[in-house]
Amino acid sequence: MRINNKKGQEEMVGFVLVVILVAIIFLVFIGIIIRQDSGSIDKDSREIVQFLESFEKYTTSCAVGFEPDFSDMGELVGDCYNGKLCVSGENACAVLERESKEILEESFSIGHENYYKGYELGSYYEFDEKREDIFLSSTGNCTGSFIGAETLRSGFDGVFITSLKICF
C-alpha cells in the first residue's frame, strides 16, 4: 500500500505544477493583450487634447475691449461667433483663422512628403442640439488615417467645441 500512496502524491504534485504553469502562461498572455490595447492612437489622441487645451490658452494679438487685454484663442472663438472687432479694427474671425494656421504650421510639419499629410481645425457652437459653425481651417490631404480630439468651453446657454483632426 505504501507504493500506491507515493504514486498518488507524485501525481498530485505533477497536477499542481501543470496548473501553476498554465496560470503563469495565462497571466503573460493577459499582460500582452492589455499592453496592445493601450496603443499609440490613444496616446496620440491624448496629445491632441493637450495640444488643444494649450491652443485655447494661447494669447492672440486681438484685444476686443481695450489694448492690454488681449484675448486667448478660446475667447477669440466666442468673439468671432459674436462678430466682434479687435481694437485694431481687424475682424476677430480673421485673427482667429490667421493665428490658428500659424500655430498649427509651427506645431506640426504638414505636407505630402511628411508624416502628417494634413489637418482640419474647426470650432462650432452647440445649443439645444443645433450646431452653428464658427470657422473651419484645413490644409493638406485628410482622406487616410487620422487622430483627433475635441475640447469644450461653456458659453452663453450652449457650448463652444473646438476639434482638431491630424491626418497621416
Query: What domains are there in the chain, each with its CATH number?
Result: 41-167 (3.30.1140)
Task: Give the CA-trace dihedral at 21, 22, 26, 27, to 10 degrees.
Answer: -30
Cell triple for 88: 485694431
Cell triple for 3: 507504493
Band of pLDDT at residue 43, cut at 50, 70 and 90: low
CA distance linking residue 22 with residue 38, whole number of Å: 25
Q: In terms of pLDDT, which residue wins out, 90 or 40? A: 90
CA distance linking residue 60 with residue 87, whole number of Å: 12
Angle ∠(152,158,162) on CA atoms, nearest 5: 30
Residue 42 predicted with pLDDT over 70:
no
User: What confidence score (pLDDT) does residue 37 get?
Assistant: 47
Q: Let me know: does 76 contact 60? Beta carbons within 8 Å.
A: yes
Q: What is the pLDDT of residues 48-67, one digit of tens each?
A: 999 999 999 999 999 998 88
List all residues 6 or more positions away from 77 whose beta carbon is below 8 Å from its beta carbon. 56, 96, 123, 134, 135, 153, 160, 162
Q: Let me know: does 143 contact 168? Beta carbons within 8 Å.
A: no
Residue found under cell 507524485: 10
pTM of the predicted model as reported, rounded to 2 decimal places = 0.69
CA distance linking residue 101 with residue 107, whole number of Å: 10
CA distance linking residue 125 with residue 27, whole number of Å: 48
Q: What is the pLDDT of residues 86-121, one digit of tens each?
A: 999 999 999 999 999 999 999 988 888 888 899 999
Q: Let me know: does 105 contact 85? Beta carbons within 8 Å.
A: no
Q: Let me know: does 140 contact 85? Beta carbons within 8 Å.
A: no
Q: What is the pLDDT of residues 129-160, one digit of tens each?
A: 899 999 999 998 888 788 999 999 887 788 99
Cell triple for 53: 487645451
